[in-house]
Amino acid sequence: MTIETVATKPFSDQKPGTSGLRKSVPVFQQPHYLENFIQAIFNTLDGIEGQTLVVGGDGRYYNRQAIQTILKIAAANGIGRILVGTDGIVSTPAISGLIRENNAFGGIVLSASHNPGGPEGDFGIKYNITNGGPAPENITDAIYAETKVISSYNILSGADINLDRPSSFKLGTMDVEVIDAVTPYVKMMEKIFDFDRIQALLTSGKFKMCMDSLHAVTGPYAYALFEQRLGAPKGTVLNGIPLEDFGGGHPDPNLVYAHDLVEILFGQEAPDFGAASDGDGDRNMILGQNFFVTPSDSLAVLTANAHLVPGYQNGITGVARSMPTSAAADRVAAKLGIDCYETPTGWKFFGNLLDAGKATLCGEESFGTGSNHIREKDGLWAVLFWLNILAVKGESVEEIVRSHWQEFGRNFYSRHDYEEVALEPAKEMMARLQKLVLDLKGKQFGNYEVEYADDFSYTDPVDGSVSKNQGIRIGFTDGSRIIYRLSGTGTKGATLRVYLESYEPDASKHDIDTQKALQPLIDLAEEIGQIRQSTGREQPTVIT
């Protein structure tokens, strides 16, 4: 085997977004495109020679080919050892755990998460650092800078490695270990949750659950956890076989894209509990019988009940949420007397807070929840957390959430997405709003008075780094909020996200339909944002 140095030219579009570099498969298949980005990562990281890396992906189309290329580039760049999941498939939370447990230098995660897969679908690459979390902006900026000047990459010539089953290989001087990624993940969950109580619940004959893996990465983990380890009946896990195109579906666990599960949970003889996860297994959706738990409420409920879970029984130090996530968790934090942090969108911003012990639980409105056990959000962890709470409290999902609202008030919450709209008018809209918010404070719109308005800027409380332009937020004196952001994960045109939140302390009003409760704010978001005109759309594509 010989190391080849291949001449290449930079691509101008390799800037990582909210969660790594995401492009359509045909873009990644251009000659040198993948190679350039991987070499740029290795050029950027100091001291990577001889180190251990973890590599794996969500199993989508192009995963297999990409992993073989990455292994050969790693071998040619002096990496010491690579741990790779069987078939090259590892969930994002499992990779984060493996990096930490094996004291690896970092990891390469191949995923476009909730974006559709297949030959015309999306692919993605993300670099994770030693703490197991997504690289912070100073590193992704440096990688991007490198992609703009790269002139060659190193690659080992040789045959592909067999990833079908656990075994060990040598690739040049580099060790490659193909590992079972499921067992360590199950062990990690056993350390956090009360498996005896969850098992008792799942085998009681009085409780039925459904887990929809949407033909994405969590299938093997869900079978191992729920059907094998915890004794739930066969058939508990739906769509549990990972497919390269996710069965043609959109592996995004929300009310729109996980509609089969929603129909089951809202149908006749519905199970007591339903959950779904996304393409790479870091997102979760939680449903009760005829009941949907918003991710923002889920974070608040987990925070309020964390003491019921063995892994958090001694209390939590703090909670962190992304800026567009509702303030439901803030109310719990205030009552518990713990800190609550508001970060920009994207899990990379939680890393420092978790490392510093400032936050124990973190969450995003986009169906992401996680804790200090790893440095990624974790879909199945959230499902087990809910099961643990259900097993201890003996109440239904709906009862738990309703009594939570009674105690803390309800934050009505919804996100309206306008997917794949024209880029320029969307950018113009954001630019207009950036100017508008400068003197919005104190203005009255009907019953609403603006308490603050800005383009969100975040100063990391640990390292002082500043991240600007993280979304337009308009807060009103009654606790309502409207937020406008452009997605950093989409691959076509622009995706506008409008986040709407209002606070209702009066329990007699907690039954109102969310979209109705938010209607005045929805109208105001249109009035201020001129959404229809800017997007050319009458309706959002997805309402969650």
**Interface residues toward ligand VG1, by CB under 6 A:** 18-19, 113-114, 278, 282-283, 322, 345-347, 364, 366, 368, 487-490, 497
346 touches, from Co ion, ligand VG1, none (C-beta below 5 to 8 Å by class)? ligand VG1
Site residues for Co ion, 109-168, by CB under 5 A, read 113
184 phi/psi in degrees, rounded to 5: -60, -35
Q: Provide, rounded to whole angstroms, the least separation between the CB of residue 485 and ligand VG1.
A: 6
Q: Provide, rounded to whole angstroms, the least separation between the CB of residue 373 and Co ion.
A: 17
> Which residues fall within 8 angstroms of residue 153, CB to CB, at 6 or more apart?
5, 6, 8, 32, 35, 36, 38, 39, 73
Place of tokens 């992993």: 67
Considering the rule CB under 5 A, would residue 280 count as an interface residue with Co ion?
Answer: yes
CA distance 69 to 73: 6
364 touches, from ligand VG1, Co ion, none (C-beta below 5 to 8 Å by class)? ligand VG1
Q: Which is nearer to ligand VG1, 96 or 236 (CB)?
A: 96
493 touches, from Co ion, ligand VG1, none (C-beta below 5 to 8 Å by class)? none
Q: Other C-beta atoms within 10 Å of 356: how many?
A: 14
Q: For residue 97, give the H/E element and its range.
A: helix 92-101
Q: Which is nearer to ligand VG1, 43 or 239 (CB)?
A: 239
345 touches, from ligand VG1, Co ion, none (C-beta below 5 to 8 Å by class)? ligand VG1
Contact of 293 with 397, CB cutoff 8 Å: yes
Contact of 68 with 161, CB cutoff 8 Å: yes
487 touches, from Co ion, ligand VG1, none (C-beta below 5 to 8 Å by class)? ligand VG1
Q: What tokens does 472 get?
A: 């337009």
**Number of residues near Co ion (by CB under 5 A):** 5
Q: Which is nearer to Co ion, 281 or 529 (CB)?
A: 281
Contact of 382 with 511, CB cutoff 8 Å: no
Place of tokens 């060790």: 175
Considering the rule CB under 5 A, would residue 227 count as an interface residue with Co ion?
Answer: no
CA distance 369 to 380: 10
Contact of 330 with 338, CB cutoff 8 Å: no
Q: Provide, rounded to whole angstroms, the least separation between the CB of residue 359 and ligand VG1.
A: 16
When CB distances to ligand VG1 are compared, the closest residue is 113
Q: How far is CA 2 from CA 32, 73, 169, in A?
A: 19, 12, 16
CA distance 210 to 407: 29
Residues forming beta bridges with residue 108, ordered by sequence position: 55, 127
Q: Which is nearer to ligand VG1, 388 or 489 (CB)?
A: 489
Q: Provide, rounded to whole angstroms, the least separation between the CB of residue 126 and Co ion.
A: 10
Q: Which is nearer to ligand VG1, 71 or 362 (CB)?
A: 362
Q: Provide, rounded to whole angstroms, the least separation between the CB of residue 82 and ligand VG1.
A: 22
Q: Which is nearer to ligand VG1, 75 or 496 (CB)?
A: 496
Q: What tokens does 513 get?
A: 């339909």
Please give the DSSP secondary-structure letter assigned to residue 271.
-
CA distance 489 to 115: 8
Q: Provide, rounded to whole angstroms, the least separation between the CB of residue 18 and ligand VG1.
A: 3
Catalytic residues: 113
Q: How far is CA 369 from CA 109, 299, 465, 521, in A?
A: 19, 7, 24, 26
Q: What tokens does 495 get?
A: 């995706």
Closest CA to 462 of 297, 343, 381: 343
Q: Which is nearer to ligand VG1, 358 or 377 (CB)?
A: 377
497 touches, from ligand VG1, Co ion, none (C-beta below 5 to 8 Å by class)? ligand VG1
Q: What tokens does 134 get?
A: 């997504």
Q: Provide, rounded to whole angstroms, the least separation between the CB of residue 112 and Co ion.
A: 9
Considering the rule CB under 5 A, would residue 212 count as an interface residue with Co ion?
Answer: no
Q: Which is nearer to ligand VG1, 294 or 366 (CB)?
A: 366
Which runs of E-coded beta strand occur in 422-536?
444-445, 448-455, 458-459, 466-467, 472-476, 481-486, 494-504
Q: How many helices (H) and strands (E) does the chain have?
A: 18, 27
Considering the rule CB under 5 A, would residue 278 count as an interface residue with Co ion?
Answer: yes
Closest CA to 113 of 281, 271, 228, 293: 281
Pick from 252, 282, 376, 501 the residue near Co ion by CB under 5 A: 282
CA distance 54 to 75: 13
Q: Provide, rounded to whole angstroms, the least separation between the CB of residue 191 and ligand VG1.
A: 24
Q: Which is nearer to ligand VG1, 184 or 488 (CB)?
A: 488
Whole-angstrom Cα Rg for the chain = 23
366 touches, from Co ion, ligand VG1, none (C-beta below 5 to 8 Å by class)? ligand VG1
Q: Provide, rounded to whole angstroms, the least separation between the CB of residue 121 and Co ion.
A: 14
* Residues binding Co ion (CB under 5 A): 113, 278, 280, 282-283
